[in-house]
A and B are shown apart, each in its own frame.
Chain A
Amino acid sequence: MEFLLSSAIGVLTAAGVYLVLRLRTFAVVLGTTMLSYAINVFLFSTGRLVVDAPPVLRYGAETYTDPLPQALVLTAIVISFGMTAVVVLMALGAFLEGGDDRVDMPRADRLPDHRAGDDGA
């Protein structure tokens, strides 16, 4: 089981990283989503894997799973939604303003605009 989960984490990470390295915004957004999955599952797994022992107190139950990583991951899931939403809107804004959805900056955009500077620095 541990092997299955860790290989899944690895594959999700690899897919996420590959997509994040693409040159178009939408692929990058998908990539961050994949990376969120991988990292949430990874954080969750630091509590070690337990089957059939949810962190809800019951009479007679002896073993429980570790609740702390779960609480952390729960908020992480919601926050990553917030992050995805902001990034998507930024991507949309960049596309609408700039006319294309590339993520890298062409050289012309990087150099300071000399027309704007009036006092030489």
Chain B
Amino acid sequence: MSPALIALLPFIGALLPGLLIRSGRDVAAISCGTATFIALLGLCLHIPAIMAGEVITARFEWLPSLGMNANFRIDGLGLLFGILILGIGLLIITYARYYLSRNDPVGLFYTYLMLFQGAMIGIVLSDNILLLLVFWELTSLSSFLLIGYWRHLPEGRQGARIALTVTALGGLAMIAGMLILGNIAGSYDISDILQAREAIQASPLYVPALVLILLGAFTKSAQFPFHFWLPHAMAAPTPVSAYLHSATMVKAGLFLLARLWPVLSGTPEWFYLVATTGLLTMVSAAWIAIFRDDLKSLLAFSTVSHLGLITMLLGFGTQGAAVAAMFHIVNHATFKAALFMTAGIIDHEAGTRSISRLGGLRRLMPITFTIGTLAALSMAGVPPLNGFLTKEMMLQETTEAVWFGNGTVLYVFGTLGALFSVCYSLRFVTQVFLGPERDDYPAHPHDPGFGLLVGPALLVVLVVLIGMFPNTSAAWLVAASSSAVTGVAQDPHFALWHGVNLALKLSLTAILGGLLLLALNPGMLAMRDAVWRPDGKRAFDAITRGATGVARGFTERFTNGSMSRALGALSMTIVATGLWAFSTGRYQGASRPMLEVGVVPLTGWILLMVATACMVAFHRLRILALVLVSIIGLIVSGTFIYLSAPDLALTQISVEVVTVVLLLLALNFLPKYTILDSADRKRGLDAFVATVTGLGFGALSYCIMRSDFAFPPISGYMLENSYKLGGGSNVVNVILVDFRGYDTFGEITVLGIAALTIFALTETLLAGASGRRLRNWVHDSLRAGDRHPMLLVVVTRLILPISLVVGLFIFLRGHNSPGGGFVAGLVVSIALVSQYMASGFSWAQERQSINYHAFIGAGVIAAGITGIGAWFAGLPFLTSTYGYVKLPGIEEFELASAMGFDLGVFLCVVGAVMLGLNSLTRIARQTGATVNLEPMDVDPSKEAEHR
């Protein structure tokens, strides 16, 4: 199976629960399990090839200009992690099915889980570091969703936020580091980077890149001092903790260290940064774990400690240590996932995970006890379990490493870590399972059903098997992965017994010391509580509060919530930028002659000036202002006619009508007068800003109009080819439906969305407090005595068929003469609106059955289908064709495929305009406007009958 498909399968699986959850949680779980299983199977089919040393790749170009390609690879390292992620994922899917309660949204859980799984698989199979970064960020986001899954719990939300903040900040650092790395290597492909060891280590940017990448890896893998997010993430449901914090998310950082081990390791910087951090984390987290009362918190700190152990081993930079690191990744995943699931079972059955409330569960939950004990003993490093093997290897490596010239410090601290590890592991066993039975458990503990036990049981079988027969059970996987990490073929041989050497003595010391510490534990607990200790969460909260405070202070300084101030500043900035651009530009003065000014344009200009001045002066009388605005709009349409733009004039004048109707409808429910509430000084300042902006804009347009084109405009091409390619002689229309059809397609979609937004807003308004207010509305002005005047009704009825024919005419002629879908749509809308105005909206609405939503949809679909039609002729989207048709009885006429597109425009415009007005009138209906039974108030014919 292609590596790309393996990475894709979990994402496909993520879609299934949403579709299938109505069929029950079993179906959702099975669908996710199937997707995971297929991916695992596909991965395992590659095992023979990988064992033979091959690397399986799949390459797709994505953004080759940026060096970002969807390249995937499977080598030994990817195989090891892939098996862990998918294999444990399968167990977790089963476990979660039985763990989550009926009230939890299970479908959502599985979707998040599969998203996370896909992101993890993506990380380990990427062969391009930019692609890897994408998946890396995706794990941060999906783990945020998983940790915060129980969103009703404040700890869950908080834990998720801390995890996201810490890992995402680390991710940011890592992006920078990766970019530097790719820049040095000259390629973003991991295969190429792995070849560039010398160049990378010789580069002066090696240390910055290393530090940045380590920041990303350490935050993800919860290394000191970023470890604090992991315990807080324990607020997640236990299946999440078992998955994210044993096998996957926290191992992503380790994966990255291993992936880049060949190019980054081996330098003193690497050794001291990585090994020291690992050592520090291992010892300190193990020390904290000894004292935790919450089972999951204990496991969380033990995880941090073991991650530190692996980090330290990778930091040593030797081949033996790399082998040990790979082996411990396997072992840790097995026993820690089993332990987390055991903790979940205890929580589920006993009702608490607090150690102080547990104890004596041995007889009540014998199977859980067996599983938990075996896994904990493995964690403690007791033979013959798998944890012992790697602990011995770790101690052996520490005895060989030298830290700042000192050969003992590493193994002393290593032994100390192991000693603490024994202590907390045994504490898990003795204080939960051993001891006398109690009678105050919050629930009645007993062994759970098969579904919860199967996962941990299988893992514990592995723990024992790997411990007893390491060379047959796990050596091949460790060999494959460590060969991929070190770049040298490895053939490790593991044994439980190496003779009496230093490592064995250290191991014995650790076990005995651990037992002693366990005996002292209660006393130490009290002692430790008395001593102050640093709290990562408190520091995090303080930093977050500080950052929020700074951001808020900054915002408050720059905006005070006044739109007027913000827009004024914006205007002045635009003017200043324009002035600066002009003064540094190459304006060469006017080069085009001015057109002569006739009487008509001069009259128009004077009218416009007067109307605008009046409009500004009287804008507080809103209805008068509206009248003045429509006058200005008319003059603008006139300008378009005069300056050779008939299409624009038609559009402007019809838009003007619907806009004024719309504003009048709105004004019905708004105050009719604007209160004067800005002081003279503010108005003076605003006038100044407005004048300066107007002067600047006017000057700009004057300069543009008086100078020649800087380079030949592309419209020459359009004029030439309008008829040849588009089959129309109205070039504006051909541009709209053909040359720039994509734009128009986008624009009618936007228009449709705007209308639907209006509809949705109206729905919300009518449902909420506004609806109640509207129902009690008291009209502030008197109703007109003659609301549906006879004259208007009769005239609009007469006009309707004529207007519809005019609309059709304008639509049909649009391709060759001024007109087209936009104008026709507006004309038809006006014809319909006038019916509504004459007899009232409700009256008219009852007499027609057109659904305006459907108009918008049909319009967009019609335009889309016309565009797609071009594909069948093997042409790009929206290429139009045309031909001539001769029907008997009428002249020969032209049919262009662009007409279908224009029809879409037409329908969309009619739908959008009518839906917008419809929404406003629905608001009017809410106020209890009466519905007239007759089309007009005074009907002479009826009165004649009465007489």
B700 contact set on A, CB distance < 8 A: 42
| Cα distance, A19 to B633, chains bound together (Å) | 16
A4 x B605 contact (CB < 8 A): yes
Q: How far is the CA of A66 from the CA of B190 in the complex (A)?
A: 52
Q: B544 → chain A, closest Cβ, in Å?
A: 6
Asked if B689 is an interface residue, CB under 8 A from chain A, the answer is: yes
Residues from chain A with a CB closer than 8 A to the CB of B647 are: 70, 74
Interface string of B772-816 (1 = CB under 8 A from A): 011000000000000000000000000000000000000000001
B670 and A25 within 8 A (CB): yes
Question: Is A11's CB under 8 angstroms from B694's CB?
Answer: yes
Across chains A and B, the number of contacting residue pairs, with CB separation under 8 Å, is: 318
Task: Give the complex CA separation of A38 and B696 in angstroms.
Answer: 13
Q: Is the CB of A55 within 8 A of B719?
A: yes
- B625 nearest in chain A by CB position: A30
Is B939 close to A, CB under 8 A?
no
**B701 pairs with A42, CB closer than 8 A:** yes
Q: Which residues between 35 and 89 of chain A lie within 8 Å of chain B, taking CB atoms?
A: 37-38, 40-42, 44-58, 64-68, 70-71, 73-75, 77-86, 88-89
A3-B594, A53-B644 given; A66·B729 CB < 8 A:
no
Complex interface residues of chain B between 618 and 675 (CB less than 8 A to chain A): 619-620, 622, 625-626, 629, 632-633, 636, 639-640, 642-648, 651-652, 655, 658-659, 662-663, 666-667, 669-671, 674-675
Is A119 interfacial (CB-CB < 8 Å)?
A: yes
The smallest C-beta distance from A83 to any residue of chain B, in angstroms, reads 7
Pairwise interchain contact A10-B698, C-beta atoms closer than 8 A? yes
Instruction: Determine which of A17, A88, A90 lies in contact with B662 in the assembled complex, contact meaning CB atoms within 8 Å.
Output: A88
Q: Contact between A56 and B678 (Cβ–Cβ < 8 Å)?
A: no
B597 at the interface (CB under 8 A from A): yes
Check if A40 sits within 8 Å of B636, measured CB to CB.
yes
When the two chains form their complex, are residues A67 and B651 in contact, meaning their CB atoms are under 8 A apart? Answer: no
Q: Which residues of chain B are within 8 angstroms of A104 by Cβ–Cβ distance?
A: 561-564
Question: Which residues of B, 898-917, contact A by the 8 Å Cβ criterion?
Answer: 909, 912-913, 916
**Residues A118 and B544 in contact in the complex (CB < 8 Å), given A11-B694, A67-B719:** no
- The residue from B564, B655, B697, B818 contacting A21, defined by CB atoms under 8 A apart: B564
Given A79-B751, A95-B670: A86 and B758 within 8 A (CB)? yes
Shortest Cβ distance from A11 into chain B, in angstroms?
Answer: 5
Asked if A77 meets B755 with Cβ closer than 8 Å, knowing A6-B698, A58-B729, A71-B740, the reply is no
Q: Is the CB of B754 within 8 A of A83?
A: yes
Give the distance to chain B from A19, nearest Cβ to Cβ, in Å.
Answer: 6
Q: Is the Cβ of A9 less than 8 Å from the Cβ of B625?
A: no
Measured CA separation A28–B768 after assembly (Å)? 25
Q: Is B356 an interface residue (CB 8 A)?
A: no
Verify if B154 is at the interface (C-beta below 8 Å from A): yes
- Find chain B residues with CB under 8 A from A118 CB: 154
Q: Chain A contacts of B83 at CB under 8 A?
A: none
The A contact surface, by secondary structure, is helix
Select the residue from B694, B744, B920 with max chain A CB neighbours within 10 A: B694
Residue of A nearest to B595 (CB): A1
Q: Is the CB of B564 within 8 A of A103?
A: yes
**Contact, CB under 8 Å: B644 / A14:** no
Which chain A residues border B750 with CB–CB below 8 Å? 79, 82
Contacts of A95 in B (CB 8 A): 669-670
On whether the beta carbons of A10 and B694 are closer than 8 Å, the reply is yes
Partner of B735, one of A5, A68, A80, A82: A68
Give per-residue flags for B595-616: 1 if the beta carbon is below 8 A from chain A beta carbons, else 0. Answer: 1110001100100110010011
Distance from A54 Cβ to chain B, minimum over Cβ atoms (Å): 5
Taking a contact as CB atoms under 8 Å apart, the answer to whether A21 and B689 are in contact is: yes
The answer to whether A18 and B816 have CB atoms under 8 Å apart is: no
Contacts of B919 in A (CB 8 A): 89
Q: Is A2 an interface residue (CB 8 A)?
A: yes
Using A58-B729, A74-B822, A93-B765 as known contacts, say yes or no to A121 and B561 having CB atoms under 8 A apart: no
Of A8, A97, A107, which is within 8 A of B608 by CB? A8
B698: which of A11, A96, A120 is its contact (CB, 8 Å)? A11
Contact assessment for A57 and B648 in the assembled complex, using a CB-CB cutoff below 8 Å: no
Q: Is the CB of A52 within 8 A of B644?
A: yes
Chain B residues with Cβ below 8 Å from A88 are 662-663, 666
B659 in contact with A84 (CB, 8 Å): yes
* B676 nearest CB across to chain A (Å): 10
Nearest CB of A to B688, in Å: 10
The reply to whether A68 and B161 form a contact with Cβ atoms under 8 Å apart is no
Chain A residue at smallest Cβ distance from B667: A26
Contact residue range for chain A? 35 or more
Residues of B within 8 A of A78 (CB): 651, 655, 747, 751, 822, 826, 909
Residues in chain A near residue B770, CB distance under 8 A = 93, 96-97
B671 touches A101 (CB 8 A): yes
Q: When chains A and B are docked, how far (Å) is the Cα of A7 from the Cα of B604?
A: 13
* Contact call B729/A14, Cβ cutoff below 8 A: no
Q: Which residues of the other chain, A, contact B636 by a CB distance below 8 angstroms?
A: 37, 40-41
A56 with B920: in contact, given A24-B675, A73-B648 (CB under 8 Å)? no
Closest to A118 in B: B154
CA separation between A18 and B212, bound complex, in Å? 51
Residues of B within 8 A of A45 (CB): 701, 704-705
Q: Is the CB of B666 within 8 A of A2?
A: no
Q: Is the CB of A21 within 8 A of B705?
A: no
Nearest Cβ on chain A to B86's Cβ, whole angstroms: 35
Q: Is the pair A18, B616 in contact by a Cβ cutoff of 8 Å?
A: yes
- What is the distance, in angstroms, from B655's C-beta to the closest C-beta of chain A? 5
| Contact indicator A75/B706 (Cβ below 8 Å) | no
In contact, B699 and A6 (Cβ under 8 angstroms): yes
Given contacts A42-B701, A71-B735, A101-B671, contact A17 B694 (CB under 8 A): yes
- A38 CB, nearest partner CB in chain B, Å: 7
Given contacts A7-B698, A66-B715, contact A82 B751 (CB under 8 A): yes
Please name the residue on chain B nearest to A112 by beta carbon.
B552
Question: Contact between A74 and B161 (Cβ–Cβ < 8 Å)?
Answer: no
Chain B residues with CB below 8 A from A7, complex form: 605, 698, 702
A48 closest partner in B (C-beta)? B705
* Chain A residues whose C-beta falls within 8 Å of the C-beta of B663 in the assembled complex: 29, 84, 88
**Contact indicator B645/A48 (Cβ below 8 Å):** no
Cα–Cα, bound, A47→B689 (Å):
28
Contact of A15 among B671, B690, B735 (CB under 8 A): B690
Specify which of A53, A82, A119 lies most central, judged by the most chain B CB atoms within 10 Å of its CB: A82
Shortest distance between the CB of A106 and any CB in chain B (Å): 7
- A18 and B690 contact, CB distance less than 8 A: yes
A-B residue pairs in contact (CB < 8 Å), sample of 6: A2-B702, A8-B605, A22-B619, A78-B822, A80-B655, A92-B670
- 6 additional contacts (CB under 8 A) given A1-B601, A93-B765: A11-B608, A11-B612, A37-B632, A66-B713, A101-B670, A103-B563
Q: Which residues of B come within 8 Å of A, CB atoms?
A: 154, 157-158, 161, 541, 544-545, 548, 560-564, 567-568, 571, 592, 594-597, 601-602, 605, 608-609, 612, 615-616, 619-620, 622, 625-626, 629, 632-633, 636, 639-640, 642-648, 651-652, 655, 658-659, 662-663, 666-667, 669-671, 674-675, 677-678, 686-687, 689-691, 693-695, 697-702, 704-706, 709, 713-715, 718-719, 722-723, 729-732, 735-736, 740, 743-744, 747, 750-751, 754-755, 757-758, 761-762, 764-765, 768-770, 773-774, 816-818, 822, 826, 909, 912-913, 916, 919-920, 923
